[in-house]
Structure 1
């Protein structure tokens, strides 16, 4: 694997905040390239976790996936990102998305048009990070001569964390890249980039993905471990699944044989879907992502801190291949 693909761990939203510095130090010392922190309502805050991780590392890039567009005002979001860039110059990959609309409604900030809100926020944040003075009187972003006092010297690409066709098209026009939620297969990546109107490997459009990591010495054990998770996902399949070239066969197999059918499905299906199986299977999945133009990968461990500690070594091994 070349050095173009940057590999790291995703910090699950359920993990205690204090674990982020331990994980960041281990990844940095081991030679992994990235750590992705997750901001979901109402768990832990992305910028706080990112600041903690940046402060205890020297080389690690920290991604933030993702900040809901309307949870903060655009200037505050830009300030958060600029502050992180000051703590770790060149080591920040921020993502902004719609946020789960039910959560936005709970907070009283649900926009009538999530697409319009996201576009206005992305445009304003990118301009502010570039050091521009911004005046904007949109539907959701209303600014009067706002300028950051400490914009980053080298602004990071602001990634859009989206998955629908209209949102992907918007991202291709106004974002600095994409962050695609798990499970991001190579086939899903190619589909998403087509919707965005972007060419894989575009140097001006940073492509990041998330995946679920399960590595065992016996790949069958890994498949059995992850089959219930996949069965749950297939109850209401989203585009990461429907874009799979074998989706119809997968759905038919699940309908006929249930979880056992997923545990025994062809190995190449699992390898396409996620870094699941042996360590070599996981590496093959990452090679497929790299060939599809992915530049950054965040791997989710199991939702258990002790298990995640073990999986840190696996992430490091994959990052160093």
Structure 2
């Protein structure tokens, strides 16, 4: 049984707009929210980067939908003890309707304090320890931890939900997917990859939920929608590890000059063809995902929500 949520982009929208989109998502029939956590946008055209924990506080007052971060990096820019405090408070505000999505991050957001950017294997090792620290803190007792990467002394969270915050782990390759299966309460990724879902489940994920993210650009003029998607999100078509290692929006803008509009047009569902949108979303259900979160690229949010409320969501399989 697949559910359909909305993907809030903090890179594109300020706090008030994100809250309004959450309201529209609930009214349109989406059943949950996924919200990105960035210090920088990917490029200057996107133009935003509000502090996600402040926005989540506002969401708790504006909607009854469950919320998850997708994803928070708890390894460098923010110490895992502080992420644990933020997540516990969010879970209390949302009456337990909060899940913490975590990942190994990007230099774009994490290098800002001036430290070295570790290799991928080291970041995954740090993520595993960070999850361990946060789980201890979510129990509500006093925690002291002296590990390879993190030290915590006499720390206790006094504001905690009735149940520990679930931690979902983001993954984009075999090693991180297997780690998600071992340490996560769920799995997050950005492609309808049935093999990844299967690897997660075989690595210890079992029946735990798999969640996928999808970007589309609805619009009545497909060519204009393609141009919008290319202007704002050509970064998603960069190959290899560039998304993890480039340090500033300026560098992403330079690299994105190598991405033609045609590549975005073939990779992103653009326009108002109902069958194309149904196929893009349905691919996640076919791949075994429990929830797919759809993000509308660009400013025409109301048109997107009207289209999905009246045409797309009623035809998607439950």
TM-score (normalised: structure 2): 0.75
Q: Shift of the alpha carbon at 1:235?
A: 5.3
Q: Shift of the alpha carbon at 1:194?
A: 4.4
The farther-off stretch of 113-122 and 140-149 is: 140-149
Could you list the per-position Cα deviations for residues 146-173 of structure 1 after superposition, in whole angstroms to 9, with x for gaps in the alignment?
3322322133421122323322222221
The residue number in structure 2 matching 1:213 is: 216
In the TM superposition, structure 1's runs of 4+ consecutive aligned residues that sit over 6 Å from their partners are 217-225, 227-232
The reply to whether residue 143 of structure 1 matches residue 152 of structure 2 is: yes
**Secondary structure at 2:211 match in 1:** strand
**Count of residues paired in the alignment:** 287
**Secondary structure at 1:28 match in 2:** helix
The reply to whether residue 91 of structure 1 matches residue 97 of structure 2 is: yes
The residue number in structure 1 matching 2:169 is: 160
**Secondary structure at 2:71 match in 1:** strand
Is the 8 Å Cα contact of residues 26 and 63 (structure 2) preserved in structure 1?
yes
The residue number in structure 2 matching 1:55 is: 61
The reply to whether residue 299 of structure 1 matches residue 284 of structure 2 is: no
Q: Shift of the alpha carbon at 1:297?
A: 2.2
Structure 2: segments with no counterpart, 5+ residues = 41-48, 243-259
Which residue of 179, 183, 191 corresponds with 2:195? 191
**Secondary structure at 2:90 match in 1:** helix
2: CA distance between counterparts of 1:315 and 1:110?
Answer: 43
2: CA distance between counterparts of 1:216 and 1:104?
Answer: 34
Q: Structure 1 pair 283/90, CA: closer, same or farther in 2 (3 Å)?
A: farther
Is the 8 Å Cα contact of residues 8 and 315 (structure 1) preserved in structure 2?
no
Q: Shift of the alpha carbon at 1:281?
A: 2.6
Q: Shift of the alpha carbon at 1:33?
A: 1.1
Q: Structure 1 pair 191/167, CA: closer, same or farther in 2 (3 Å)?
A: same
Q: Shift of the alpha carbon at 1:80?
A: 0.8
Superposition pairs of residues 22-41 of structure 1, within 5 angstroms? 22-41=20-39
The farther-off stretch of 29-38 and 276-285 is: 276-285
2: CA distance between counterparts of 1:138 and 1:23?
Answer: 41
RMSD across aligned positions (CA): 3.4
Q: Shift of the alpha carbon at 1:90?
A: 3.3
Q: Shift of the alpha carbon at 1:300?
A: 1.9
**Secondary structure at 1:78 match in 2:** helix
Q: Shift of the alpha carbon at 1:14?
A: 2.2
**Secondary structure at 1:68 match in 2:** coil
Is the 8 Å Cα contact of residues 81 and 94 (structure 1) preserved in structure 2?
yes
Superposition pairs of residues 255-274 of structure 1, within 5 angstroms? none
Which residue of 286, 307, 314 corresponds with 2:307? 314
TM-score (normalised: structure 1): 0.75
Q: Structure 1 pair 12/274, CA: closer, same or farther in 2 (3 Å)?
A: farther
Q: Structure 1 pair 295/197, CA: closer, same or farther in 2 (3 Å)?
A: closer
The residue number in structure 1 matching 2:274 is: 279
